[in-house]
Structure 1
């Protein structure tokens, strides 16, 4: 058994577990009362420019202004630098009170606002559309050179003028008709966002990314996933509906769980989550890890604990570190 996805759809949250050989390797939780902002696109207003930090604060309607770093700021029309010329300072690119369209790439945390960029990306099933960058890219996970060249040629053929396309892993083996449909969907979405950005108040939300189930099907549910198990009938039906338009070939891999035990209990997920959240984790040899999390970093202390080795200190430390790295 290889890689599996499990979806626990509750009344207040949706949880997704990623299993590899039955072992939990990732858990994603989306709580309905907590707004997810990463991927959202806003029409905002520049509130403050900080030349000393090469950054600006942008009001996008949140409690704290969003942070825009100069490297995440596209050069707008009329501001293009000469080839090989130095990057202009941020106060030459923006002015206070200016309205700009930005996309959230990092959630607010603590006393920090969201981080935003002006190089927007719109992900589809097979492409990522970049409205402001003239570029073609191919996923590195597509390794066959002939397939890469085929997809590059199709991407160049389908590339909207002045925009960029990144070919996603799911596009491997997909024909031109399906690729064109995905391109058309993204282009139509961008046109709606542009139209919405020309009117209404500022700040304003222009585009809200989809929920966890949709994002998982769009971004992660590829040919290498053996099964997707969902424990709620409406979420199961929704997944089949999404896949019917995204990738009908994968519908047969979606299962509705009907067991008497809760899904995450049946597969041992709750126990693995509980273990993973402890700050002290024992390793099979008797060594252990201690996790301490701060705002700036997470510290991991590796201890030999009950493991004394069988030869010398150097081998004992190496064996402990190798075991810790795998964990």
Structure 2
């Protein structure tokens, strides 16, 4: 059973997801800075650059959006030409086009957009022109995978594509069919707006942070939802009744005098989880440093001396670290390249155990994560897809003294 704790202030909504009392996901969203990922725009092609195989599209944001040639070709790989065409044969300056945002704008870069349209629902992801059926790899039973494939093939029409999500496992066909009807209606509304709207125009915005988490991670019949805002509670309840018409566990409106995050121990776990130095169970430590291009995590035995030998001590520390790193990557929503400096182990068997522990932990992460293996220097490399703004951007700000480096130049401190 999971607990979803939502704190609403005047300008920000903060959401915490707990599993067995442990904080596993955290997200924040400012009212005036709701994310763009998943949103649809009617845009106009501004530049087509054959040398980059990309185009820039005006969608009404500060920076033009970036559209790569692979996001213009047919979404089904088997339908794509064997030789990739030049993008200037596909798009022309001034051309109006419907695009969906797949990556948030960041720094001096505009949003990354695509014409591979997707609409996620409770049980499936709807793709109006993909022409294929997919089933989540996390559904292990072959009989259930085959059932869902047959069901999806029966339900889809013409060029439609469907991906059955993990939560659709063992779900009634009536519920899946109802989800598809809602998604088809949503797509039709987007198309109607596109025909009437002047370019550039927002056609559809993705759900709010609370609604996204209810849709993607929440079991309405089993999990607990607690919100400290009457308005947000009403909106959440309306959304629950829409996606779970067969019934759901009543949500709780929190009215305590203590702040909701403090009452459920979220603040304390956030402070620990977002620290640079994290103490592990048993006494080991993690040092967590995030740079522009990658995240580096250093594992130390510190005060842990519990093994019968040095190799056993090191391996135990690394196993505990691997499990905690998997949880914290998800909690911090760390993306891009991640390099982990585990303590050196002599036996290949122990290195495999550490990788297996990390793979097991990240398997519950909804964001795509790839563990690439050990480098020649004994570092473990992995990557994690990044689509939204860092949680840290909403929750912290650089230190005014050190500018985020963690060190203050002595010439700024005057004479000592």
Deviation at 1:225, TM superposition (A): 4.9
Matched, 1:252 2:264: no
Deviation readout 1:209-261 (Å, 9 max, x if unpaired) = 12122222222212685322222233223222222221145522522333332
Matched, 1:138 2:162: no
Aligned position for 1:18: 17
Deviation at 1:299, TM superposition (A): 1.6
| Structure 1 pair 305–221 and aligned structure 2 pair: CA distance change class (3 A) | same
State the alpha-carbon separation in 2 of the partners of residues 273 and 213 from structure 1.
18
* Further displaced range: 173-182 or 120-129: 173-182
Aligned position for 2:178: 181
Deviation readout 1:78-124 (Å, 9 max, x if unpaired) = xx755xx2222323322232222111111111121111111000112
| Structure 1 pair 100–313 and aligned structure 2 pair: CA distance change class (3 A) | same
Trace 1:67-82 onto structure 2 (pairs within 5 A): 67-75=66-74, 82=81
Aligned position for 2:214: 217
Query: Do the aligned partners of 2:117 and 2:128 also contact (CA within 8 Å) in 1?
Result: yes
| Structure 1 pair 12–297 and aligned structure 2 pair: CA distance change class (3 A) | same
TM-score by length of 1: 0.88
Matched, 1:166 2:150: no
State the alpha-carbon separation in 2 of the partners of residues 214 and 204 from structure 1.
23
Deviation at 1:185, TM superposition (A): 1.9
State the alpha-carbon separation in 2 of the partners of residues 172 and 326 from structure 1.
26
Matched, 1:37 2:33: no
State the alpha-carbon separation in 2 of the partners of residues 142 and 254 from structure 1.
28
Secondary structure of the structure 1 residue equivalent to 2:33: coil
| Structure 1 pair 161–287 and aligned structure 2 pair: CA distance change class (3 A) | same
Query: Do the aligned partners of 2:121 and 2:179 also contact (CA within 8 Å) in 1?
Result: yes
Q: Which runs of 5+ in 1 are unaligned?
A: none
| Structure 1 pair 275–191 and aligned structure 2 pair: CA distance change class (3 A) | same
Q: Which runs of 5+ in 2 are unaligned?
A: 325-416
State the alpha-carbon separation in 1 of the partners of residues 185 and 249 from structure 2.
30
State the alpha-carbon separation in 2 of the partners of residues 125 and 310 from structure 1.
46
State the alpha-carbon separation in 2 of the partners of residues 177 and 302 from structure 1.
49
| Structure 1 pair 224–286 and aligned structure 2 pair: CA distance change class (3 A) | farther
State the alpha-carbon separation in 1 of the partners of residues 20 and 149 from structure 2.
34
Deviation at 1:3, TM superposition (A): 2.3
| Structure 1 pair 267–98 and aligned structure 2 pair: CA distance change class (3 A) | same
Matched, 1:51 2:50: yes
Aligned position for 2:187: 190
| Structure 1 pair 143–253 and aligned structure 2 pair: CA distance change class (3 A) | farther
| Structure 1 pair 248–299 and aligned structure 2 pair: CA distance change class (3 A) | same
Secondary structure of the structure 1 residue equivalent to 2:239: helix
State the alpha-carbon separation in 1 of the partners of residues 249 and 284 from structure 2.
43
| Structure 1 pair 51–108 and aligned structure 2 pair: CA distance change class (3 A) | same
Aligned position for 1:273: 270
State the alpha-carbon separation in 2 of the partners of residues 33 and 223 from structure 1.
29
State the alpha-carbon separation in 1 of the partners of residues 19 and 272 from structure 2.
17
State the alpha-carbon separation in 2 of the partners of residues 81 and 318 from structure 1.
47
TM-score by length of 2: 0.71
Query: Do the aligned partners of 2:41 and 2:100 also contact (CA within 8 Å) in 1?
Result: yes
Aligned position for 2:100: 103
